[in-house]
Amino acid sequence: MINKKLLILGLSTILIGSQAFSSTGKYTEFENKIKELHKLHAKECAPMEIAFAEGYLDTLKGLSIEGFSAKPQKIDKLVFANKVKIYLSMAEEKVYGDQDKDGVPCYKEIEQGTDPFEDVHKKEKIAQKLAPKPVPKVEKKKGYQPLKVNARIHFDFDKAEIKKDYLPYLNVIIHHLKENKNLKVKIIGFTDNVGSKEYNNKLAYKRAKAIELYLVKNGISKDRIEILGKGKANYLFDNKNELNRFTNRRVEFFVMDTK
């Protein structure tokens, strides 16, 4: 009789222990997910969802008041755990989602320093406004046409690094190329008139190469891209002042329909 009682007591202890372990395990899982989402800029991409998930999780673990930990009742624990799960999946969806439909997920845009919520059409409009003048037809090769969306990226003096300000426009171009799979793109780099011809040719090529690398990194096949460095050629403006030289230091995009 006593043995039976002991057996029941032992079994119930194991059962309660395992339940406690599993709930702790569940919270650890939630905590890890939250950590992972924070690394992917959830605070910026899904502030409401991550805040709600954290709030419910902290309440599940117990909120301290006057040195005492207040916990929800059993039924609320289930409800809150469910809410944590729902809000975490919503946050994940937003972090990996592309709210402005420019083809770049939210967390990546935050890493790049661009606005993940700005409407892509608005971006195009801004780009058109910012473009100094309509793009003159430089490339005469048959088949290639100037890209109609914002198609000019400018560079700092003696630099081939893409400026952060131009990433949104590049993202628009990527989006356009992803939508039109039959298009091939030709990227041509130009420089201002400072320095030797050979050096500027190399620099112009480097600029076109930097753009190519960015497009490839964002899912455009290398087979669809052709690059060229033209250096000191086809100036848009005379090189008399810094603004004009900056305008001349650029890459331009030309597309060809392969259909």
Please report, as ranges, the residues that interact with another protein according to CB under 8 A: 43, 47-48, 50-52, 54-56, 58-59, 63-65, 68, 70-73, 76
Output 25 or 47, the one with its CB closest to another protein: 47
CB of 84 to another protein, least distance (A): 11
Phi, psi for 102 (deg, rounded to 5) = -105, 10
Output 79 or 138, the one with its CB closest to another protein: 79
Distances (CA, A) of 150 to 87, 126, 172, 231, 253: 38, 9, 8, 21, 9
CB of 51 to another protein, least distance (A): 4
Residue 229 CA, chain-centre distance (Å), reads: 28
Output 79 or 236, the one with its CB closest to another protein: 79
Strand, coil or helix: 193: coil
Say how far apart CA 137 and CA 148 lie, in whole Å: 11
CB of 223 to another protein, least distance (A): 42
- β-pair type (63-65, 145-146): unpaired
Output 51 or 126, the one with its CB closest to another protein: 51
CB of 79 to another protein, least distance (A): 9
